[in-house]
Structure 1
Amino acid sequence: MPCERLLIQTDNPARIRKKYSGRTTRRIKMLRAHGLIRKVPRANRYVLTEKGQKFSCSLMTASALDIKALTEMAA
């Protein structure tokens, strides 16, 4: 896997860990700002909101369809 090769070649695993940690934090903040997830009180957990469930369901449905079917549905 290309990702594994990149991780093996690096000489500073702490830097990589910090990079991925920051990326995850930014993504969680974005999802919370859009109201797609909410934090579970007093826990390091997040759950989908109703809006997030609808959005993820629509994304999975759209990814299962081909472009031709999507354009026909939109027209």
Structure 2
Amino acid sequence: MADLHRRAQVSEAANRRYLEALSGVHITTSLGSLTEKLCRPTTWKGKRVRALNPYAPEDLALLKAVARGEFTINGFRNRDLVKLLYSSDQELTPTAKRRQSSAISRKLRLLRAHGLIKKVPKTHRYHLTASGSRAITAVIAALHASADSLIKLAA
């Protein structure tokens, strides 16, 4: 009972994030302007970070993984992305597990540098930012759109 107020705050924030993800907010910004910053190298904590290529298979798989609905409320961890991005048919050696975890850590740094995700303080979890959600959703929608519909919109 002592933490009832805090639980209410956490629940309210989770519900707000979930409703924002479900709401189909109409975005009038062009795809080019949404992805312009993603497709350019940036710096984060004084170090250069490569550009994202949203249409490359590896980067696209990463973007789709972090945009999954199951991560809307509680966010995601390195461990969650390892399960999604690497198939684990056989038992891995500790060295292989560490390499996979390190690779995901570098990808998380890439996403943080581009402002797509933010770290939840004092946890190992990450959430999509509002701008990250818009950009990733737009990229995924553009990939699933037919060429005819895109040509009609351009005309």
TM-score by length of 1: 0.72
- What's 2:99 paired with? 19
Q: Structure 2, unaligned stretches of length 5 or more?
A: 1-86
What percent of counterpart residues are identical? 30
CA distance in 1, matches of 2:107, 2:139: 17
Q: Structure 1, unaligned stretches of length 5 or more?
A: none
- What's 2:132 paired with? 52
- What's 1:41 paired with? 121
The higher relative CO (CA closer than 8 Å, separation ≥ 6) is in 2
Q: CA deviation at 1:13?
A: 1.2
**Coordinate RMSD, CA, aligned:** 2.2
CA distance in 2, matches of 1:68, 1:38: 36
TM-score by length of 2: 0.39
Q: Which runs of 4+ in 1 moved over 2 A?
A: 66-75
- Equivalent position to 2:111, from 16, 26, 31: 31
Distance 1:69 1:40, change over 3 A: same
Q: Give deviations 1:42-63, integer Å, cap 9, x for gaps.
A: 1111001111110121022112
Give SS of 1:47's match.
strand
- Equivalent position to 1:62, from 134, 142, 146: 142
